[in-house]
Amino acid sequence: MVNDKRISDAVIKRLPRYYRYLCDLLDSGVTRISSGELSRRMGVTASQIRQDLNNFGCFGQQGYGYNVELLSNEIRKILGMVRTYNLIIIGAGNLGQALCNYQNFAKRGYIFTAMFDINPDLIGTTINGVKVYDIADLRKYLQENEVDIAALALPRSNSRPIVQILDEEGIKGIWNFSHVDLKVSPDVVVENVHLTDSLMTLSYRLNNQVGE
């Protein structure tokens, strides 16, 4: 697999969805699928599917289609899911707990190793087997443990000093649920989940009846 060209963000954003559909197919015992049938299920054009997958050298065979297992393995490799990732969650409130309790993440290799909070009632407890540490111990924890990704599930007003510690301690991935765009070093990857933005997009489409 040669992966030396820049893949567009739009394609990257679509890959997890392909992966989800392929895993569902595997779970239902489907071993091969044509781009036409995958297109019908996913609601995208067959030519889009062929074009997207060609980016990664995944070519379907004429008259056979795609081998579901091979293709899902290939996408898993592309997505970097052939290893596990250690995640910490900053903020052990409802959202942090929701993330920690979500079964699907561990299945995909995302392992929550610690949570951090400012609330003395939460510090020292465990949530789904994950210990909640005092946020004051964040830097020390990062110096002593391998952490790949930090999920920010805390109010935006508290996020700036935390992000600075993460950045200084060399965290390379931030999954940002706080309602603010982060300022970080250029080599830090930030994936934003801005819930209010998403709700506003929904109400815009509701008012303008732009269905999917």
Contacts with a second copy, residue ranges (CB under 8 A): 3, 6-7, 9, 12-13, 15-17, 19-20, 42-43, 78-81, 85, 93-95, 97-99, 101-102, 104-105, 108, 110, 148-149, 172-173, 175, 179, 181, 186-191, 193-212
Looking at beta carbons only, is 120 or 211 nearer to a second copy?
Answer: 211
We find the least distance from the C-beta atom of residue 121 to a second copy, in angstroms, to be: 16
Looking at beta carbons only, is 143 or 208 nearer to a second copy?
Answer: 208
We find the least distance from the C-beta atom of residue 75 to a second copy, in angstroms, to be: 9
Strands (E), 80-203: 85-90, 110-117, 126-127, 130-134, 149-152, 173-176, 189-192
| Rounded CA separation 19/17 (Å) | 5
We find the least distance from the C-beta atom of residue 66 to a second copy, in angstroms, to be: 19
- CB 67 within 8 Å of CB 73: no
| Rounded CA separation 61/44 (Å) | 19
Strands 66-67 and 32-33 turn out to be antiparallel
We find the least distance from the C-beta atom of residue 61 to a second copy, in angstroms, to be: 26
Strands 173-176 and 149-152 turn out to be parallel
| Rounded CA separation 88/26 (Å) | 31
Looking at beta carbons only, is 62 or 104 nearer to a second copy?
Answer: 104
Q: How far is CA 77 from CA 15, 81, 136, in A?
A: 11, 6, 37
We find the least distance from the C-beta atom of residue 13 to a second copy, in angstroms, to be: 6
Looking at beta carbons only, is 165 or 180 nearer to a second copy?
Answer: 180
Sign of the alpha-carbon torsion through 133, 137, 142, 145: negative
Looking at beta carbons only, is 63 or 80 nearer to a second copy?
Answer: 80
We find the least distance from the C-beta atom of residue 154 to a second copy, in angstroms, to be: 12
Looking at beta carbons only, is 26 or 193 nearer to a second copy?
Answer: 193
| Rounded CA separation 94/40 (Å) | 37
